[in-house]
């Protein structure tokens, strides 16, 4: 097995937040699998700040951004959706995406910061040499700041989104311009990879990790 490291990254538009590099470890139960384990005593916390929108008439977060933005955007999910990417880091420091999965933040907002939700995600392999990739993480949320859905802020957001609409998604990450390198078959188990999500009513600003 090649001596490479793996890095977890969260991407949205032009933003990318990465974890520390971790080494592959052989699985004791299956020689064809590799495992990456985060110790319970030393979990890695990653905070990500994002913005969500909610209807003024109920407590539900809008899966499609308010109608004002719909005139500007072709992809309505881009404000809520992050892409979790597993990147292989070679001995020369090159990073290549090997698995990815989209995560809609709206579905995992919780009322209390002490609440935690365990997520088990099945990532899509981006290389033929990776057969399966699973991720286990903990997610919690906390309110940061409340804003208003005023026309000025919406216009600013729409303008930014329109300029950034060509940024990477899972499909972009999997595009052919990424050169295929050798990657070992394996299942990645990520324990206590803690995520902090923060939300507000109206215009939502969320810290997610």
Question: Per-residue confidence at 30, pLDDT binned at 50, 70, 90?
Answer: confident
Q: What is the mean pLDDT of residues 54-78?
A: 50
- Residue that wins the pLDDT comparison between 208 and 168: 168
pLDDT at 192: 34
Q: What is the mean pLDDT of residues 157-173?
A: 48
What is the pTM (predicted TM-score) of this model?
0.59
> Percent of the chain at pLDDT above 90?
3
What does the domain layout of the chain look like in residue ranges?
5-170+183-207
pLDDT at 122: 92
- Residue that wins the pLDDT comparison between 205 and 195: 205
Give the phi and the psi of residue 163 in degrees, each rounded to 5.
Answer: -70, -30
CB 36 within 8 A of CB 136: no
The CA-atom distances, in angstroms, between 32 and each of 26, 28, 60 are 8, 10, 44
Q: What is the mean pLDDT of residues 88-95?
A: 85
pLDDT at 209: 42
Q: With 80 as the cut, is the pLDDT of residue 41 above it?
A: no
pLDDT at 193: 36
Question: Per-residue confidence at 57, pLDDT binned at 50, 70, 90?
Answer: low
DSSP result, 103-157: EEGGGG--SSTT--EEEEEEEEESSTT---EEEEEEEEE----EE---HHHHHHH
Of 17-21, 55-59, 116-120, 197-201, the range with the lowest mean pLDDT is 197-201
Q: Is the dihedral of CA 125, 126, 131, 137 positive or negative?
A: negative
Q: With 80 as the cut, is the pLDDT of residue 38 above it?
A: no
Residue with tokens 């991720």: 135
Bin 107: left if φ > 0, else alpha if -120 < ψ < 50, else beta.
Answer: alpha
pLDDT at 59: 62
């Amino acid at each position: 097995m090649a001596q490479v490291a793996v890095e977890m990254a969260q991407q949205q538009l032009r933003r990318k937040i990465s974890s520390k590099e971790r080494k592959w470890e052989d699985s004791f139960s299956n020689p064809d699998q590799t495992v990456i384990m985060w110790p319970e005593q030393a979990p890695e916390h990653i905070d990500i700040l994002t913005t969500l929108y909610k209807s003024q008439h109920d407590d539900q977060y809008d899966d499609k951004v308010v109608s004002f933005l719909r005139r500007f955007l072709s992809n309505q999910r881009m404000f809520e959706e992050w892409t979790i990417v597993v990147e292989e880091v070679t001995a020369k420091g090159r990073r290549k995406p090997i698995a990815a999965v989209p995560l809609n933040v709206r579905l995992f907002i919780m009322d209390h910061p002490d609440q935690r939700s365990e997520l088990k995600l099945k990532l899509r392999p981006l290389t033929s040499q990776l057969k399966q990739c699973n991720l286990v993480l903990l997610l919690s949320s906390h309110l940061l700041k409340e804003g208003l859905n005023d026309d000025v802020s919406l216009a600013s957001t729409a303008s930014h989104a329109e300029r950034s609409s060509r940024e990477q998604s899972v499909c972009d990450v999997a595009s052919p311009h990424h050169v295929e390198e050798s990657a070992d078959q394996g299942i990645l188990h990520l324990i206590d990879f803690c995520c902090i999500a923060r939300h507000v009513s109206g215009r939502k600003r969320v810290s997610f990790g």
